[in-house]
Structure 1
Amino acid sequence: MPRTHATHHITIVGGGFAGLTAAITAAEAGAKVTVYEAHHTLGGRARTAEGPYKTNEGPHALYKGGPHWTWLKQRGLLGELAPLPPLEAARLRLRHKGTLRRTPPFAMLKLLRRTPEQAPIETDFKTWATAIAGEEAANTAANYSAVAIFHHNPGALSAAFVQERLRRATKLPPEAHYPRGGWASVIDRMAARAWNLGVRVETLARVDTIPDDHGPVIIATSLDAARTLLKDDSLTWPSGRTALLDLAVRTLPRARLLPHSRLRSSGGTPMIGGTSTGDAFAVSDLDAPGWIERFTAQDRTLAPTNEQLIQGQIPIAPHESHADGIARAEELLDLGFPAWRDRITYRNEALANGRTGAVDHPGTSWRDRPRVDRGDDVYLAGDQVAAPGVLSEVSFNSALEAVTLALGIRSRAGLDLKHA
């Protein structure tokens, strides 16, 4: 007999992006909802640090082409987006063979023109891409895709998985957008909508067990936390491991003359007639996976006046150390940010292990990840479960699917997982 969702009480464990998406969706469908969040604030990995430097947990972007974009926009939850000035967009730099360039290698462009349907699931990206454009183009494209994958060896992953993210990351006009004030601004609006819909939110409330007489429960935590909570060792899926670097530096005036010795001590920054070329907007590494971005290029509210906020996320292999990743980040800084060591006002480093979303190896796709429906009215939502999409889209899609199953809704507008 179909459930009458209007009378249900749904429990959601986790108040991040997935948990709030599920809470709003369930409340809009008429269910009573309680959210339990172990932290003192909502947001999960979408939290933005408080204080003068508004950093996210690693670089964050909101992809316009995803289903969550429409959902957020329809509810007035997107808020103001930070536009990227044309001058800053022109300062995107690519490291190739140890030097900076403005455009990708020509052979790499062959791969960017191909659709994700043409890339096979069963073959690794490097093998597939090498057959099309050669080994060098395959390597550079795989390394560039790290901006949307955060894996130390994207070439070893499923060709279909990598190519879809490469296509989205290089699409023109760019799909990546940035909520003004950081991701916390979106979370704050989502939380306000949830409260207005009558959702009960309890923070500093860690859930260790699920009672035997529970109603529908949506576990919207990391997969590691869900595995512990549900005592289910099958809840595993590969993810990335990354070194995170947050850096604030004093703004370098354009065309400022700097002493040659200072520049050389900071890595030999390129000069034009003895004058600094200015800070890059972003430096993408084509020699190895890695990405450094100056987030104040599009949003000046993220750092104090006359300072620039830079964030980097460098994938590292299991045998590499956090220091190895930071060293590679500093190499990119040397290339794209003149005399950055002399300008530092804030620095923070971290190691993120298994916190960058799912990666699919050859022969697997999102359908093979841990399923949303765990049986006995328990459902999963998050970025490593069986739902399609790129980055936060997986959390969003799985949250909607979890609510659909929990409330017995037979149809849902705006998303069809069977054909995604």
Structure 2
Amino acid sequence: MRRITVVGGGFAGLTAAITAAESGARVTLLEAHQALGGRARTAEGPYRVNEGPHAIYRGGPHWSWLKTRGLLGPVVAVPPLEAARLRVHRGGALRRTPPLALLRLARRPAGQAPVDQDFLTWATSQVGEAGARAAAHFTGVALFHHDPGSLSAAFVQARLRRAASLPPEAHFVRGGWGALVDRMAGRARELGVRIETGARVAELPTAEGPVIVATSLEAAGHLLGDSAGLNWPSGRTTLVDIALRTRRGDAWVISDLDAPGWLERFTAQDPTLAPAGEQLIQGQLPIAPDEAKADGLAHAERLLDLGFPGWRERTTWRGSSVAAGRTGAVDPPGTTWRDRPAVRRGDGVFLAGDRTAAPGMLAEVSFNSALEAATLALTSSGIEVAP
């Protein structure tokens, strides 16, 4: 039996490796870093932060897949009392409820929104410009993009509906996504997957059999010698992590409707992420191509001033970074996920990741592309795919 090689040990790579091994394939997984997980890694130490806010949506395809295999583990929802502390920033002030126009728009079926028109234009025709801009900015939580209104209306509307659903679809892996990665890695090893960390790949090992490249598009383009062809727009955002001494009355979420931006107190649903007596806030503040990390940090501080009084004096730890091209695909008007770089690359090479031609929101794109890549690799090796 020919071996299937997976390059990349993040969420997509582990999904592909498990899927292939469950069908009886011999699988090798190569990860350049010393730790698995990719962008799903969770920092060690007292503050267990992910690379940006991470949630798993209950309606997504990976939920049932993980649960069936006993990999989902303990997940937590937001307690109702904390959910009542959601605040929206509108007109320079914090408010308890979003505008009615945003709520009305969020109920519209995604199929009503056109693919070939930008979201702001279409939404303005539905609820007026003020409501359309508020809705576009609200979807920043699921897009990490500085101008959601410029993207395909169909693409944004589908994410608006899920981000604003009641009860909320978003759940959180207790202990951070690193706990999920550990369970997936354990399952892969049980199935006989050979996992090699610190294994940087300079060229594709196609002689041994099919190869699944589960890396960023930039890394995949370099490896496949197709940097121009393997490209698709993504967001650019300042990621902020702040630990504060606990204070009653702090907001749970601040969603900025004046400009895309989102802060969330993650210890509201999972107190294990920070030491006792402290709370962990994570946020993403999208920045335009001509803006700097400092612009995102200034945006975060304005929101913190409103929702977390005295936060500067209460800060016990903080970190920040910029994520560019690492926040998933965004579809411009006239395009859908089918127009992104294809999973099948030819010559026994298949692509998986969050900017590939696969449906879904956020990590669901990685998951769906990994399933397809593994299925195609198995079929090309003459191996029957396990149900």
Partner of 2:131: 137
> Is 2:206–2:348's contact at 8 Å kept on the other side of the alignment?
no
Q: 1:223 aligns to what?
A: 217
CA contact (8 A) 2:236 2:323 kept: yes
Indicate which of 58, 62, 69 corresponds to 2:63: 69
Equivalent in 361, 365, 376 of residue 390 of structure 1: 361
CA 1:142–1:158: 2 relative to 1, 3 Å: same
- Matched-pair contact (CA < 8 Å) for 1:249–1:343: yes
What is the Cα deviation at residue 9 of structure 1? 1.1
- 1:354 partner SS: strand
Counterpart of 2:232, as a letter, is W
Q: Deviations over 1:286-331 (max 9, x none)?
A: 0000000000001110000100000111110001111001100111
**1:311-322 aligned within 5 A:** 311-322=282-293
Q: Is the 8 A contact 2:234 2:329 kept in 1?
A: yes
SS in 1 for 2:360: coil
Q: CA deviation at 1:410?
A: 10
| Residue number in structure 2 paired with 1:80 | 74
CA distance in 1, matches of 2:309, 2:191: 50
Match of residue 304 from structure 1: 275
Correspondence for 2:241: 246
Distance 2:335 2:205 in 1: 34
Aligned 8 A contact 1:13 1:36 in 2: yes
CA distance in 2, matches of 1:68, 1:242: 25
Q: 1:179 aligns with which of 157, 163, 173?
A: 173
CA separation of 1:335/1:411 partners in 2, compared to 1, >3 Å: closer, same or farther?
farther
Could you tell me which amino acid in structure 2 is paired with residue 156 of structure 1? Answer: S
- Pick which of 98-107 and 304-313 moved more: 98-107
Cα 1:212/1:179, change in 2 over 3 Å: closer
TM-score (norm 1): 0.90
Query: How far, CA to CA, are the matches of 1:228 and 1:385 in structure 2?
Result: 16
Letter in 2 for 1:105: P
Give yes or no for contact 2:378–2:384 (8 Å, CA) kept in 1.
no
* CA-CA distance at 1:412 after TM superposition: 7.0
CA drift at 1:212: 5.4
Name which of 24, 28, 33 aligns with 1:30.
24
- Unmatched 5+ residue regions in structure 1? 1-6, 255-277, 415-420
1:411/1:316 Cα in 2 relative to 1: closer, same or farther (>3 Å)? farther
Unaligned runs of 5+ in 2: none
The alpha-carbon distance between structure 1 residues 167 and 210, as it changes in their structure 2 partners (threshold 3 A), is same
Q: Give the aligned residue type for 1:204.
A: G
Q: Secondary structure of 2:236's match?
A: strand
Q: Deviations over 1:164-207 (max 9, x none)?
A: 00011011111100010000111010000000000000000000
Query: Which residue of the partner structure matches residue 288 of structure 1?
Result: 259
CA distance in 2, matches of 1:107, 1:172: 16
Select the residue among 39, 42, 45 that pairs with 1:51.
Answer: 45
Distance in 2 separating the partners of 1:309 and 1:188? 22
Call closer, same or farther: CA 1:410–1:201 in 2, change over 3 Å.
Answer: closer
Total equivalences in the alignment: 384
State the structure with more CA Rg: 1
Q: Find the partner of 1:363 among 322, 334, 337.
A: 334
* Structure 1 segments (4+ residues) deviating >3 Å: 409-414
The equivalent of 2:12 in structure 1 is: 18
Name the % identity.
68
> Which aligned pairs between 1:167-206 and structure 2 lie closer than 5 A?
167-206=161-200
Q: CA deviation at 1:344?
A: 0.4
Change (3 A) 1:206 1:324: same
Give the TM-score of the pair, scaled to structure 2: 0.97
The alignment partner of 2:232 has SS state of: coil
Tell me, in whole angstroms, the C-alpha distance in 1 between the residues paired with 2:307 and 2:36.
35
Match of 2:156 among 151, 162, 166: 162
Q: Is the 8 A contact 1:249 1:308 kept in 2?
A: yes
One-letter identity of the residue aligned with 1:393: E
Whole-angstrom CA distance in 2 between matches of 1:106 and 1:387: 33
Question: Aligned pair in 2 of structure 1 residues 212, 220: CA closer, same or farther (>3 Å)?
Answer: closer
Structure 2: distance between partners of 1:100 and 1:360:
31
Per mean C-alpha deviation after superposition, the further-off stretch among 46-55 and 108-117 is: 108-117
- Partner letter of residue 153 of structure 1? D
* AA partner of residue 318 (structure 2): R
CA distance in 1, matches of 2:193, 2:166: 39
Q: Match for 1:325 among 286, 296, 320? A: 296
